[in-house]
């Protein structure tokens, strides 16, 4: 089956400028002043599937999500959506294509125009894509509000009159308005209170079941990712370092970074917390401007050997459907603990 | 690390048997007058903190978890704020009526704080070591040289690599995690008896959060100071605290030992919060337990129990009468008309 969305060797670099005037005039990229946000990512998302994308700030997960919708221009590589090369589309066909690819944002208030009423916000995609007019449009807005659990009474209110959870519902209604196939949900729950997070997760999952939606669910919250996703991709400094079925990645991670990430998540159970051993990584995430050579994680990796500083590891299938980028593990030796000491 | 500073004895674990709580908050009520009317941010809050204990205060935004603490420390602006009632006894002295000068001497010395966002709490124009020196010169009357040596020792203790060289950097030259380490170095510089950490890791990445929590754990083990940890993350509460206070709508809803609270919650709100966290045992596709509705507007609280509009077991009495604070087990209290039923697992 062909995937709904796929990326091949996708790359998004941001040129920060700088470098010598001579080099710039000669048109050479100024080395060292380029942020390698997304640096060669390939992935596929099947229709109806949720791919969870997890990583720390600056790892490039948001940029990757935006590049799939071409909200940022990839500097290399290809994005295919329903067999159409999105990266090659001219502005007008791209605009038409966006009807089918929408986004839910992290900060619900910042992503809603404060001078527009809920009705106007939710109706905007219908207007932009010419999907409904007049009475019909009004009915569609009311229907969408009901779908996301907002009372019709609020139809003429402004975003600031709503709580954070309700604002996120408005953002979801807007994303649904053009009846998309694919939605990038970028940290949709991290700005919300704990009791509201469960509501929004349930809403996002219900909509998927009812409408056959396909999601890229971006989050730094492994608990939420594990709950919502079929498969999970872990990003570190612009690259996918592990990818596989959600349960396998979250419960039996292979790559040392994922293992540390999983172990760093506090478990809401004091009995478990008292017993578990934590892997506490040393140091900070290096800058994506000048990522370390070889394996990008080697500067913080407790298992790194000399070769890790040189060889850039490729994703390899360690267990069925479960890929990891680490030269110290293999299908024959999947457990890093069993790798020969440095 | 040098141990020549006059307060180095403070770092030794305190083993004296003190039965008296280090901090007693009694019936604290704080109101704010706004255009929207009187906001009841904190209503009749009482809790104790024992020496050496780690107390978690959990709640959602607007629950009053931070305001109650800030008010106790004299950091709530008044007006618009107003303490309507209550007292906060720190080692027997009421912080709420203490002269400003005395309270200032306490803050940053005996009682230290760590806030959520290190970038807005550090002075961007001051070198990091100077910000530590400022505290010890004021509270410990350190000489310039002592303060400098102590500042570098503190930076080393909180794990700033190459501390001597980085001491004269400015905060913007540090990463978020390193800045929070500097905040902790400032807080611990005078060997406090009480450390208050208000969402200390909320702005940080997961792996950096693990580092900072480990540092707080290690510091506490070394100094034996009491800690109040304000957070919304039940995972952090489970791993860090001895006892928990759950707040909702400005009121204490439940208090118990951490083990007891997670094993047998006695309040429907706590129960709902615990159930709504994604559970590793749940089936893929099975919906999460969800508490309906939104956190209440503390300017317009309903009569009766503030949680009643969202509570699955609310009865008429809940909508009419403010619930009693019931002791469901020794040391375990819950604000609920049906506290015993909830605690014993009897359904509505």
pLDDT digits (tens, 9 = 90+) for A169-226: 999 999 999 999 999 999 999 888 888 999 999 999 999 999 999 999 999 889 899 9
pLDDT value at residue B14: 46
Contacts of B232 in chain A (CB under 8 A): 193-194
Tell me if residue A39 falls in helix, strand or coil.
strand
Residue B235 sits at the chain A interface (C-beta within 8 Å) = yes
Residue A271 sits at the chain B interface (C-beta within 8 Å) = yes
The sheet with strand B194-198 has its strands ordered as B111-114, B194-198, B226-231, B54-58, B243-248, B251-257, B332-335, B325-329
Q: How many Å from the N-terminal Cα to the C-terminal Cα in chain B?
A: 59
Residue A95 sits at the chain B interface (C-beta within 8 Å) = no
Residue position matching structure tokens 């457990």: A335
The band of A340, judged by pLDDT with boundaries at 50, 70 and 90, is low
Dihedral sign computed on CA atoms, order B113, B118, B119, B124: positive
Phi, psi angle pair for A22, to nearest 5° = -60, -45
Q: What is the arithmetic mean of pLDDT over B168-184?
A: 87
pLDDT value at residue B259: 94
Tell me if residue A290 falls in helix, strand or coil.
coil
What Rg value do the Cα atoms of chain A yield, rounded?
A: 22
Establish whether this prediction's ipTM goes over 0.85. no
Give me the percent of chain B exceeding a pLDDT of 70: 93
Q: What is the arithmetic mean of pLDDT over B338-342?
A: 94
Q: What is the arithmetic mean of pLDDT over B64-85?
A: 88
pLDDT value at residue B11: 43
**How many C-alpha atoms does B317 have within 13 Å on its Cβ side?**
6
Residue A270 sits at the chain B interface (C-beta within 8 Å) = yes
Q: Greatest CA span in chain B, whole angstroms?
A: 68
Q: In which element (H, E) is residue B114 found?
A: strand B111-114
For B139-160, b where at least 16 C-beta lie within 10 A, e where not — what string? bbebeeebbbbbbbbbbbbbbb
| Partner residue facing B238 (CB), from A246, A264, A269 | A269
Q: What is the arithmetic mean of pLDDT over B323-327?
A: 95
Distance from the A223 Cα atom to the nearest Cα atom in chain B, whole angstroms: 6
Q: What is the arithmetic mean of pLDDT over B267-290?
A: 84
Report whether A223 contacts A235 (CB < 8 A). Answer: no
**B16: nearest Cα among B227, B189, B193, B215:** B193
Cα-Cα-Cα-Cα torsion A203, A204, A205, A208, nearest 10 degrees, comes to 120
Q: Cβ contacts of residue B66 below 8 Å, gap of 6+?
A: B198, B199, B230
CB contact under 8 A, A278 and B287: no
Q: Is the pLDDT of residue A75 over 90?
A: yes
Q: Cβ contacts of residue A204 below 8 Å, gap of 6+?
A: A104, A172, A185, A188, A215, A217, A228
Q: In which element (H, E) is residue B57 found?
A: strand B54-58
Q: What is the arithmetic mean of pLDDT over B285-305?
A: 86
Q: Can you tell me the distance from the alpha carbon of A338 to that of A273, in angstroms, rounded to the nearest whole number?
A: 25
Using one digit for the tens of pLDDT, what is the confidence trace for A296-337? 999 999 999 999 999 999 999 999 999 999 999 999 989 988
- Would you call A117 exposed, middle or buried from its count of C-beta atoms within 10 A (0-12, 13-18, 19+)? middle
Locate the chain B residue with the closest alpha carbon to A205: B285
Q: How many Å from the N-terminal Cα to the C-terminal Cα in chain A?
A: 43
Give me the percent of chain B exceeding a pLDDT of 90: 45
Q: What is the arithmetic mean of pLDDT over B133-139?
A: 90
Q: Can you tell me the distance from the alpha carbon of B65 to that of B94, in angstroms, rounded to the nearest whole number?
A: 20
Q: Can you tell me the distance from the alpha carbon of B330 to that of A203, in angstroms, rounded to the nearest whole number?
A: 40
Other CB atoms within 10 A of residue B221 CB: 9
Q: Can you tell me the distance from the alpha carbon of A326 to that of A240, in angstroms, rounded to the nearest whole number?
A: 11
Phi, psi angle pair for A195, to nearest 5° = -70, -20
**A54: nearest Cα among A250, A192, A218:** A218
**B308: nearest Cα among B327, B325, B322:** B322
Using one digit for the tens of pLDDT, what is the confidence trace for B148-161? 999 999 898 888 88
The band of A289, judged by pLDDT with boundaries at 50, 70 and 90, is confident
Q: Which two tokens stand for residue B70?
A: 């800030």
What Rg value do the Cα atoms of chain B yield, rounded?
A: 21
pLDDT value at residue B3: 35
CB contact under 8 A, A278 and B210: yes
Q: Which two tokens stand for residue B224?
A: 């034996």
Distance from the B33 Cα atom to the nearest Cα atom in chain A, whole angstroms: 20
Residue A48 sits at the chain B interface (C-beta within 8 Å) = no
pLDDT value at residue B283: 67
Report whether A244 contacts B232 (CB < 8 A). Answer: no
The band of B178, judged by pLDDT with boundaries at 50, 70 and 90, is confident
The band of B263, judged by pLDDT with boundaries at 50, 70 and 90, is very high
Q: Can you tell me the distance from the alpha carbon of B50 to that of B24, in angstroms, rounded to the nearest whole number?
A: 9
User: Which neighbouring-strand residues pair with B248?
Assistant: B251
Q: In which element (H, E) is residue A70 found?
A: none
| Partner residue facing B277 (CB), from A163, A223, A270 | A223
**B118: nearest Cα among B166, B175, B71:** B175
Q: What is the arithmetic mean of pLDDT over B27-52?
A: 89
Distance from the A138 Cα atom to the nearest Cα atom in chain B, whole angstroms: 26
pLDDT value at residue B218: 86
Residue position matching structure tokens 């604070």: B325
Tell me if residue B17 falls in helix, strand or coil.
coil
Locate the chain B residue with the closest alpha carbon to A268: B235
pLDDT value at residue B4: 36
Using one digit for the tens of pLDDT, what is the confidence trace for A78-87? 999 999 999 9
The band of A156, judged by pLDDT with boundaries at 50, 70 and 90, is very high
Q: In which element (H, E) is residue B327 found?
A: strand B325-329
Mean pLDDT of chain A: 90
């Amino acid at each position: 089956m062909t995937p709904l969305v796929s990326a091949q060797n996708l790359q998004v670099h941001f040129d920060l400028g700088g470098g010598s005037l001579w080099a710039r005039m000669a048109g050479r990229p100024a080395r060292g002043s380029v942020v390698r946000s997304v640096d060669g990512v390939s992935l596929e998302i099947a229709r109806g599937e949720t791919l969870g994308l997890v990583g720390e700030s600056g790892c490039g997960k948001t940029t990757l999500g935006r590049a799939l919708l071409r909200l940022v221009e990839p500097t290399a590589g290809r994005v295919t959506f329903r067999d159409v090369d999105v990266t090659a589309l001219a502005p007008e066909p791209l605009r038409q294509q966006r009807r089918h690819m929408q986004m839910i944002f992290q900060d619900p208030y910042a992503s809603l125009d404060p001078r527009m009423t809920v009705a106007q916000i939710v109706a905007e995609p219908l207007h932009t894509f010419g999907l409904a007019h007049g009475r019909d449009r009004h009915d569609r807005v009311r229907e969408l509000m009901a779908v996301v659990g907002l009372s019709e009474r609020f139809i003429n209110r402004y975003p600031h009159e709503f709580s954070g959870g309700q604002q996120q519902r408005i953002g979801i209604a807007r994303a649904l308005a053009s009846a998309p196939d694919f939605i990038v949900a970028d940290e949709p729950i991290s700005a919300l209170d704990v009791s509201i997070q469960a509501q929004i997760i349930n809403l996002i999952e219900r909509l998927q079941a009812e409408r056959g939606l396909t999601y890229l669910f971006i989050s730094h919250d492994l608990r939420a990712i594990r709950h919502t996703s079929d498969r999970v991709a872990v990003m570190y400094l612009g690259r996918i370092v592990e990818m596989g079925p959600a349960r396998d990645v979250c419960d039996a991670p292979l790559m040392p970074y994922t293992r540390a990430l999983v172990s760093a998540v506090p478990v809401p159970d004091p009995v478990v917390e008292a017993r578990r051993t934590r892997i506490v990584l040393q140091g900070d995430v290096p800058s994506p401007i000048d990522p370390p050579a070889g394996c990008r994680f080697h500067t913080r990796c407790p298992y790194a050997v000399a070769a890790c500083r040189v060889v850039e590891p490729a994703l390899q299938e360690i267990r069925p459907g479960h890929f990891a980028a680490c030269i110290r593990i293999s299908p024959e030796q999947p457990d890093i603990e069993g790798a020969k000491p440095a | 690390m040098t141990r020549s500073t006059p307060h180095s004895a403070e770092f030794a674990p305190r083993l004296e048997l003190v039965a008296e709580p280090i901090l007693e908050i009694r019936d604290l009520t704080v109101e704010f007058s706004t255009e929207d009317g009187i906001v009841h941010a904190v209503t009749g809050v009482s809790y104790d903190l024992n020496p050496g204990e780690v107390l978690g205060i959990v709640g959602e935004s607007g629950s009053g978890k931070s305001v109650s603490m800030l008010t106790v420390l004299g950091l709530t602006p008044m007006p618009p704020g107003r303490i309507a009632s209550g007292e906060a006894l720190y080692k027997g002295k009421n912080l709420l009526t203490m002269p400003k000068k005395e309270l200032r001497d306490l803050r940053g010395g005996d009682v230290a704080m760590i806030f959520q966002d290190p970038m807005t709490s550090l002075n961007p124009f001051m070198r990091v070591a100077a910000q530590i020196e400022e505290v010890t010169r004021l509270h410990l009357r350190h000489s310039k040289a002592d303060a400098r040596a102590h500042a570098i020792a503190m930076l080393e203790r909180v794990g700033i690599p190459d501390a001597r060289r980085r001491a004269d950097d400015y905060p913007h030259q540090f990463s978020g995690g390193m800045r929070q380490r500097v905040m902790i170095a400032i807080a611990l510089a005078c060997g406090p008896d009480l450390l208050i950490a208000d969402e200390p890791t909320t702005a940080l990445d997961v792996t950096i959060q693990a580092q900072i929590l480990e540092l707080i754990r290690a510091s506490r083990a070394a100094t034996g100071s009491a800690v109040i940890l304000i957070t919304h993350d039940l995972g952090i509460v489970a791993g860090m605290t001895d006892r928990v206070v759950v707040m909702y709508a400005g009121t204490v809803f439940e208090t118990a030992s951490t083990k007891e609270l997670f094993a047998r919650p006695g309040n429907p709100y706590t129960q709902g919060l615990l159930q709504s966290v994604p559970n590793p045992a749940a089936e893929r596709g099975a919906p999460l337990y969800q508490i309906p509705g939104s956190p209440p507007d503390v300017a317009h609280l309903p009569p009766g129990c503030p949680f009643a509009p969202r509570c699955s077991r609310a009865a008429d009495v809940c909508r009419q009468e403010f619930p009693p604070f019931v002791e469901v087990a020794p040391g375990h209290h819950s604000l609920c008309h049906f506290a015993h039923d909830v605690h014993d697992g009897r359904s509505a």
